[in-house]
């Protein structure tokens, strides 16, 4: 299996077409076979809508795959803040995450804090990590339209986490190419928020959403991510992902 970071920060967006896949687990197992970039770097604009004028920020996202699924990602804001978030993915256990505040202080994100908002957006630290296929149970719930296209509907429940951020997520997988176009997130038994992928393009043979929107279930607030540019399989120095470099 592989841990997958996407240019839009949400994992498990890349799924291949699978003939005759009839269970949620079938779909997720096939997703592991799809080629993923060994590295990626993108420039992303974030707009946070909570009423009134949006709060706009811009950051770069750098990711790199390592042996044994120890993948790494760094979010580094350019404006208006200098906050950074470093994630080290681990197979079979929780990711390690550290945030560098504008003051320069480095803080480790505790497991109990994974449900906190990242830079006052509608993305949580949990949303910015990796996803281990074996850490979830999947149920195929049938077919349903999402974002205007026919989809398979798959329920995902994390099995072993002691501090779950979400009760479950519902994945809407586009039938034409098995690409996830929407994710519904549930907390405390209630529909909490949802993510939608738009403007999906092929870049270097990789399906890439250039606009991602995370909205609250009531529709009253949202965070939009727009990919300004992205490059795959480019050289990235390993030192980029060192915790000691976060100063």
Cα four-point dihedral sign 205, 206, 207, 213: negative
Phi, psi of 108 (to 5 degrees): -80, 135
Q: Considering the chain, what is the average pLDDT of its residues?
A: 87
pLDDT for 55 beyond 50: yes
pLDDT for 4 beyond 70: no
Nearest-angstrom CA–CA distance, 128 and 85: 9
Report percent pLDDT > 70 for the chain.
88
pLDDT for 187 beyond 90: yes
pLDDT at 192: 98
Q: What pTM was computed for the model?
A: 0.89
* pLDDT (average), residues 62-78: 92
pLDDT for 94 beyond 60: yes
Residues 71, 65 contacting (CB under 8 angstroms): yes
Phi, psi of 109 (to 5 degrees): -85, 115
Nearest-angstrom CA–CA distance, 219 and 94: 31
The more confidently predicted of residues 132 and 33 is 132
Angle at 45 between CA 131 and CA 245, to 5 degrees: 65
Question: Could you tell me the pLDDT band of residue 247, with boundaries at 50, 70 and 90?
Answer: low
What is the H or E stretch that residue 27 is in? helix 24-31
Residues 223, 122 contacting (CB under 8 angstroms): yes
pLDDT for 33 beyond 80: no
pLDDT at 118: 97
pLDDT for 43 beyond 60: yes
pLDDT for 7 beyond 50: no
Q: What pLDDT, in 10s, does the model give residues 114-160?
A: 999 999 999 999 999 888 888 899 999 999 999 999 999 999 999 87
Question: Could you tell me the pLDDT band of residue 34, with boundaries at 50, 70 and 90?
Answer: low
Ranges 85-94, 107-116, 231-240: which has the least confidence: 85-94
All residues at 6 or more sequence positions from 177 whose CB lies less than 8 Å from its CB, including other chains? 15, 16, 17, 207
Dihedral, CA atoms, 45, 51, 52, 58, nearest 10 degrees? -10
pLDDT at 29: 72
Question: Could you tell me the pLDDT band of residue 19, with boundaries at 50, 70 and 90?
Answer: very low
Dihedral, CA atoms, 176, 45, 231, 240, nearest 10 degrees? -130
Ranges 59-73, 105-119, 153-167, 208-222: which has the least confidence: 153-167
């Amino acid at each position: 299996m592989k841990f997958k970071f996407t240019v839009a920060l949400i994992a498990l967006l890349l799924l291949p077409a699978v003939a005759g896949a009839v269970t949620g687990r079938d779909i997720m197992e096939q997703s592991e076979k799809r080629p993923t970039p060994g590295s990626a770097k993108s420039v992303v604009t974030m707009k946070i809508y909570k009423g009134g004028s949006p709060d706009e920020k811009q950051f770069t996202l750098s990711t790199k795959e390592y042996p044994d699924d120890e993948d790494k990602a760094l979010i580094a804001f350019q404006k208006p803040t200098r906050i950074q978030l470093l994630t080290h993915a681990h197979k079979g256990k929780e990711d390690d995450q550290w945030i560098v505040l504008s003051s320069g202080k480095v803080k480790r994100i505790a497991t109990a804090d994974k449900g906190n908002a990242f830079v006052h957006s509608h993305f949580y630290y949990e949303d910015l990590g990796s996803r281990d296929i074996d850490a979830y149970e999947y149920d195929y719930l049938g077919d349903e339209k999402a974002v205007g296209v026919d989809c398979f509907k798959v329920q995902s429940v994390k099995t072993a986490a002691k501090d779950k951020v979400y009760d479950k997520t519902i994945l809407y997988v586009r039938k034409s190419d098995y690409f996830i176009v929407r994710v519904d997130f549930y907390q405390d038994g209630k529909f909490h928020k949802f993510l939608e992928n738009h403007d999906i393009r092929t870049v270097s043979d990789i399906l890439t959403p250039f606009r991602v929107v995370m909205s609250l279930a009531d529709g009253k607030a949202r965070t939009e991510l727009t990919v300004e540019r992205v490059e795959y399989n480019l050289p990235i120095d390993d030192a980029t992902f060192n915790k000691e470099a976060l100063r």
